[in-house]
Each structure stands twice: as C-alpha cells, then as structure tokens.
Amino acid sequence: MTVPEDIYEITNPKDISSLKRALVNRLIYSIGKDPVETQERDWFFALAYVVRDLLTLRWMESMRRYYLQDAKRVYYLSMEFLIGRALGNSLLNIGCYDEFKLVLEDVGLDLEELAETEEEAALGNGGLGRLAACYLDSLATLRLPGFGYGIHYDYGMFSQRIEDGYQIEHPENWLRYGNPWEFPRPDVLYRVQFRGHVVECPNADGKRRYRWIDTEDVMAMAYDIPVPGYGGETVNNLRLWAAKASRDFELKYFNEGNYIKAVEEKTQSENLSKVLYPDDTTQMGRELRLKQEYFFVSASLQDILKKFRIDQRDFSDLPQEVAIQLNDTHPSVAIPELMRILLDEHQVPWDDAWAITVRTFSYTNHTLLPEALEVWSVRLFEELLPRHLQIIYEINHRFLTEVGERFPGDMGLIQRVSIIDEERGKRVRMAHLAIIGSHKVNGVAALHTRLMRTTIFRDFARIFPDRFVSITNGITPRRWLNQANRGLAKLITETIGPGWVTDLERLRQLAAMADEAEFRARFRAVKSANKQHLASLIAKRLNIGIDPASLFDVQIKRMHEYKRQLLNLLHVITRYNRLRAGLSQDMVPRTVIFGGKAAPGYHAAKLVIKLINDVSKVIGRDSTVAGLLKVVFVPDYNVSRAMEIMPAVELSEQISTAGMEASGTGNMKMAVNGAITIGTLDGANIEIREKVGEKNIFIFGHTAEQLDEMRRGGYDAWRFYYDNEELKLALDMISTGYFSPDEQDRFKPLIDSLLREGDRFAILADYESYIACQEEVDRLYLDSETWTRKAILNVAHSGWFSSDRAVREYAERIWNTPI
Ligand code: B1N
C-alpha cells in the first residue's frame, strides 16, 4: 500500500491550531488523561508523541529514499550512545520550537520547564559515547544513510549524589515512565548464541566445515529511535538491542514442571542488557561485558546482512554497499563474527571472506592508556565463543605467517604483534584484532594518531603503513551551540545569518567583529546573562551563592588521574594561600567549578571528589577570602548539566598530562561557547591552539616528548616538592589534614601517589608553569576588552571542530561515501 496523502494529522507544522489539536489528541488518546486533570509529565509525553509523529513520516521517507538511491550504508557500532534529552533538540532540528512554545503557553505551560521532565538517555560514560551521539546528528544532517547500533540498557550511567563530600552512586531507571521516542520492535528478533562447542563435519566437496552447536541462546529485540537531522528533511535510525530470553530455556524447565526455575532463567538471560558498565578508559575483564559486546554485535550483523541480502546480492559486493565503523575495540568481535557467518553459514572460502571483512570494517581508537586496552582471557573466550576463538587463531596464524615472510627472523616482532598475548596467561588483544581486521584505523586527534603510530602500534604502522589515519573529533553545533546557548546563537545569527548551524566554518565571519566595541559589549552581555543563569541554577539546586561577576573557571569531565583535577586543586589551594597572605591585589575574584563522575571502583578518583568538597568547605567558611574565591562541585554531571554549564564558562580547564587525553571534546564545546582554554599540549588542544591562534589560548606544561625524556632520565618527585615552597605548602596542607581535620590522613593515598609512587601523571612537574599561566589568566581578565576579543576569536575559529567536518572526513577517507 502507498501512504495516502491525507495521513498527516498536522498538515502544516507552522499552524498553531493544528499543533494544539494534535497535542490534546495525544494527551487524551495516547496518554489517556483528561486535559483538566494532568501532570506536567503527561504533557511532556503528549508533546513527545506529537514530535515523534512529525519525525516518523520523514523517517520513512528517508528510508525509502536510501532504498531507491541504492546508497551505500554506514553502520556505527558502539557500546555507548550518550544522547541526553531529545525534546529540545528534535524541536529545533525540525524547526518547530517557537510554534510549540506558543502552543504550550496557550495551555498554560512553559516549554523549557516541560523539557526538564524528560529523563536523559545516558547510555554512555563520557566522551566516547557523546561522540557517537554527535556523529549520529551529523550523519542525519548531512543526509547520509548512517545508522547507529548499540545496547538498550535498562540502567544507563549511574546518577551521582554527594553525601558528606563523597560520591554515592545510585541506579538511574530512565525507562521508569517509558521512553516516548522509541519504537519497540518485538518482531525484529535475532537469536544470539553463547557457549556450546564446535564440531567438524565432513563435507561433500572434501573441505572442512565447522558447526557451532549445543549453544545457550539469548534473543535480541530491537528498539528504534529516530534521529532527526537539522532542517528535518532526513531522519535516520538508532537501533538498540535488548536481551530477551529464548523460548528454549522456558520449554526445558516447563516440560519438567519447574515453572519457577523457568522464570528464573528467563530473568537471568535478560540481565544481559540490564546495565551499562560505568568505567571510562579502563577495562573490566568481566564475563558479562564480553557477553554484552558479542550480543549486540551478533544482532547488528544479522540485521545488516538481512538488509543487504534483500536483493540477493553476492557477498563480494558487501564492501561496496556497507561500511561498518567500530567505535573502539568494544564491538571488534564483529570481525571474527562476520568471518564465521561467511565461512560457516555461507561457505565462502577463507581468502574471499577475509578480503570482504577487511574492506568492510574500520576501527577508531580512542585511547593509548594501557589500562583501557581490551584484553580477554583465552579461557573466557573459549568458554563463551569457542568458534570465534578458533577463527581468531586462524586469523592470527595467517597474519603472523605473512609478517614472518615479510620480516624474516624478527621473532620479537611476531610476539609483539600477535593477537594472542602469551605473557601473563594467554589473552586476546582486541586492538590487534581490530587493526588486522580493518582497512582503516583512525586516531581522534593529530597528536593521538602520531603517538599511536610511533608508540603502542608502532609495529603495525610499519606492517600497514597506509592503514592509520587521523580524524580529529568534532561536536554537533546543533546541540552544543544552537540549543545550549540560545543567547549566543541569536547574536551570531543576527550578525552573520543562520547558515552557521550547518556550516560552522562561517563563524569565521565573526573574527572581524572582535575589533568592534559594540559587538564586544553585546557578546559580553550574552556571557554575563549565561553566567547569571548558571548562578541562579546553582543557588536553587545546591543552595550555594556564587558571584556572577567573578571569573568562571570550569573543569567538567570524568574524574580521572590523567585529567588532573588534582592539579587544578593545587592551584586553588595556592591561590587560597596567597589570598590569605594578603596578596589579593593581582588576583581577580574566581569561582572554580568542578563536575564529573568517578568510576565506582576507582578509589583515587573518588578521593579527589572528596578533596574538592573538603577544600570547598574550608574556603567557603573562611571570611577572609569571601568574594574572592569559591569552589563548587556540581553533582551528577551529565549531558543536561553540560548544556547548562558550557555557555557560562570563561576559562576552560583542559589540563591532562600531555600524551594521555586522546582528543577531548569538552574543550571544543567550551571554545565554541566563547571560553578561553587553559591547557596542555595534549589531544585536540593542540589543534585548538592552531585554529584560534596561540595568543588566544593559555598553554602550559611539558610536552609529551619532554615528559618522555624526563621519565627516561628518572623522575624526581621530591625535587619538585623541595624546590617550590608554595607547592610544598599546598601538599603539606593536604597531607596534614588541613582540609580534613576530622581525619588527618584521609588524603594520604593521593599524596603518596605523587611523592612516593612516582607521580605517574606528572602533576608536580607541571605545577609551576600551571601557576604561572594562571597568573597570566588573571592579568588578562582584568582587561575585559582584550579578554572579550580573545573569547570572540575562539568562537570565530572553532568552526573546524564541527562534527559535520569530522563525519565528512570519515565519509571521504574511510567509508568511501563522499558527500
Ligand atoms: O574518547 C573521547 C576522547 O575525546 C577522549 O579523549 C577519550 O578519553 C575518550 C573504555 C573509553 N577513550 N576511551 C574511552 C570509554 C569507555 C570504556 O569502557 C574506554 N573513552 C575515551 C572521544 O574520542
């Protein structure tokens, strides 16, 4: 059947009265509420359903268009999609924000307030998951057939509460009231196998064939979430898989008359998609995690191949029709899985199957930290995925044979590049598998890619010189500027027109405006309003008063030692000491804001949260620094909090140990919102400096190379301690309980890590130049015109950090789907 023309309930999305009719219809017929007796949440759901309706037809049109164009499809496989709230973003993307605002006013409601009732989809940890969400937005905006595949977690990122200064994790049941954006698809169901064993069966053609049998199976059920591009023309799809028990479990026990056992088993297998692992840049070698990885990979590949086979094409066409991007190694079991399907289920010969696989996959590496590189014990792999382990051995064998032929006699090389790590118990190195099984491997910033090629993957860069490419991360200007910072967005549009929303490089036109006093005043007024807004939120929620006229100095990101929140604190303490010593004349009043979650088992990171809160308390109670210094820890940092804070930031803290932050993306968000960065030469900070100009950024600290050299010569932590009195004082205050009189050695582990355990993150080495750099920040802030000028230039030169640019690069250089 073709879709009848008159199916549209809303014939004109600009027609307020038809929008209102649709809204009230939804409230009555979909929510089942009498308009005279409603709660705010009812209206939110009604509105979300109306918006989803508007998306749905465009979504079907997009799918039809792709089908007719026979366009090559891009699949983004990711364990994480940190989407955040969808209402405001969808309304702005389809261009109906103001219209719905009026409709709601008409029924006595405020759209912004209503939007706050939406639970956020926090299906990710941090940068990696948020990047995936930004890329989905850009894929749709660029009208590319790009689809996300991930896991439909019941519990996403935990919510963080602060009790007595400590982080307490609470589960966040975001699906409690249902998710109005998703379409459950009980008919899209795939069987995913686990365990069992492999048998070799004789084949008529004399070739060996393998069958994976006696498996324990789980079903994957699809949930579809529409992803609207800007302008509303294209709507793509994010498909998330939820685990459902297979009927086999039930039947087995039902037949034995054991009803309770049957239900118990059902719950157990459905646990698979229950919860997101809250570990950012660390690996937890847990069985459930490997099961999650294979679960969503297996379902996604079955789905991808089902669509591909619709036209009965030959598998050798797969790389022309399909590109699959692996977001880190988390989905890299897709490589042996595709091989298994081709070999065992379709009898494709090995060499053909391998050529297809390598040309289809590409892999993004997001970190060089050894603790984040995924390895799985061979034993666990064998237990859960015996056939995949066999295939991995065969991939490895063939690869190592080839390497042996190309580099004869180099046994060290063979050991280093092998997929199997033979030291410390046999383990499967997923990064090696991902590199060997992909045609392109990309790093996420220039430095990161260079380090990847010269350090951890040096051998692979020699073996596959053309495989490694650099694509610097990007952020979507729709959410991070147009939506989050309405004031600045309006000012920009009034100045250069609306084109920047889909062509962020146009911000460059603002550069000339930086020299105009009137524009600077308007820009300052926007920033000032944003700061006041944030101050009022902090007052309302945390009952803390902050001075909107003070410099807003902000570090918001996951809590991790390499991100060095502790270095920031050492500056705060030093500043406090200087103020108390009466040296306030050169210092501007500052509000230092922190926000971020620590992995629940990461003790050092959690202790830093406690230290921030203890320092905040001591400083907050000291009347001698009142009005001059304040420290605030914003609890439960998430996408919504980020959208509130980013527009108000003046100083963006990007102070990771050089060589350790692969890229960073918060750095880009703050720059485009008119903050000035204080940072190390790390990750994308280097490219930010290149774009905004070195006069418009504060750079300090050792470079990655300098740190490397320093470590080779022997790092002497104590020397930094004894050579700098202010550093010594700050450390002594922490270690002698100045901030923790109730428990003097509370922070001993932190101090020990710096002085006795080698200061792995070079906090002491960078302290002095950080403090000096912060002095420069104060000097500049006193000159408000010059500060504003530099802030404007940051906005003007941030266009390159749009995720549209990044996705275009993937399309051209990796997926071969040029736009
Ligand atoms: O990915 C971001 C980068 O901007 C950040 O610099 C980088 O730290 C981040 C295991 C990770 N790398 N690795 C992870 C997340 C979850 C997990 O279970 C590792 N996250 C990053 C985007 O490129």
- Tell me: the pLDDT tens digits for 399-423? 999 999 999 999 999 999 999 999 8
Q: Check residue 237 and give its pLDDT.
A: 98
Distance of CA 142 to the CA centre of its chain: 20
Measure the CA–CA gap between 387 and 394, rounded to whole angstroms. 11
Measure the CA–CA gap between 211 and 178, rounded to whole angstroms. 40
Residue 741 has pLDDT above 80, yes or no: yes
Q: Check residue 251 and give its pLDDT.
A: 74
CA nearest ligand 1 atom 10, residue: 281
Task: State mean pLDDT over 441-457.
Answer: 98
Q: Name residue 47's amino acid.
A: L
Asked about 307 being catalytic, the answer comes back as: no
Residue 621 has pLDDT above 90, yes or no: yes
The three-class DSSP label of residue 156 is coil
Strand partners, 679: 654, 699
The per-residue pLDDT for range 41-59, each reduced to its tens digit, is 999 999 999 999 999 999 9
Q: Which atom number of ligand 1 is nearest to the Cα of residue 282?
A: 10
Q: Check residue 253 and give its pLDDT.
A: 76
- Catalytic annotation, pick one of 330, 366, 429, 440: 366
Q: How many A from CA of 802 to the centre of ligand 1?
A: 18
Of 79, 325, 367, the one to substitute when testing ligand 1's pocket (max ligand atoms within 8 A of C-beta) is: 367
Residue 248 has pLDDT above 90, yes or no: no
Burial of residue 253 (CB within 10 Å: 0-12, 13-18, 19+) is middle
Q: How many A from CA of 365 to the centre of ligand 1?
A: 9
Q: Check residue 9 and give its pLDDT.
A: 72
Asked about 790 being catalytic, the answer comes back as: no
Pocket of ligand 1 (CB under 6 A): 125, 127-128, 131, 277, 279-281, 366-367, 372, 444, 473, 661-665, 683
Of 80, 280, 376, the one to substitute when testing ligand 1's pocket (max ligand atoms within 8 A of C-beta) is: 280
Residue 746 has pLDDT above 70, yes or no: yes
CA nearest ligand 1 atom 4, residue: 664
Task: State mean pLDDT over 360-367.
Answer: 98
Q: Which atom number of ligand 1 is nearest to the Cα of residue 80?
A: 16
| ipTM rounded to 2 decimals | 0.99
Asked about 558 being catalytic, the answer comes back as: yes
Asked about 603 being catalytic, the answer comes back as: no
Phi-psi region of 260 (alpha: psi -120 to 50; beta: other; left: phi over 0): alpha
Task: State mean pLDDT over 602-624.
Answer: 98
Q: How many A from CA of 367 to the centre of ligand 1?
A: 6
Asked about 669 being catalytic, the answer comes back as: yes
Measure the CA–CA gap between 513 and 754, rounded to whole angstroms. 46
Q: How many A from CA of 595 to the centre of ligand 1?
A: 17
Q: Which residues of 583-620 are buried (b: 16+ CB within 10 A; e: fewer)?
A: ebeebbbbbbbbbbbbbbebeebbbbbbbbbbbbebbb
Q: Check residue 130 and give its pLDDT.
A: 98
Q: Which atom number of ligand 1 is nearest to the Cα of residue 664?
A: 4
Domains annotated for the chain, with CATH where assigned, are: 13-472+808-815 (3.40.50.2000), 546-799 (3.40.50.2000)
Q: Which atom number of ligand 1 is nearest to the Cα of residue 683?
A: 6
Residue 806 has pLDDT above 70, yes or no: yes
Asked about 728 being catalytic, the answer comes back as: no
Q: Name residue 328's amino acid.
A: D
Measure the CA–CA gap between 146 and 238, rounded to whole angstroms. 9
Q: How many A from CA of 641 to the centre of ligand 1?
A: 19
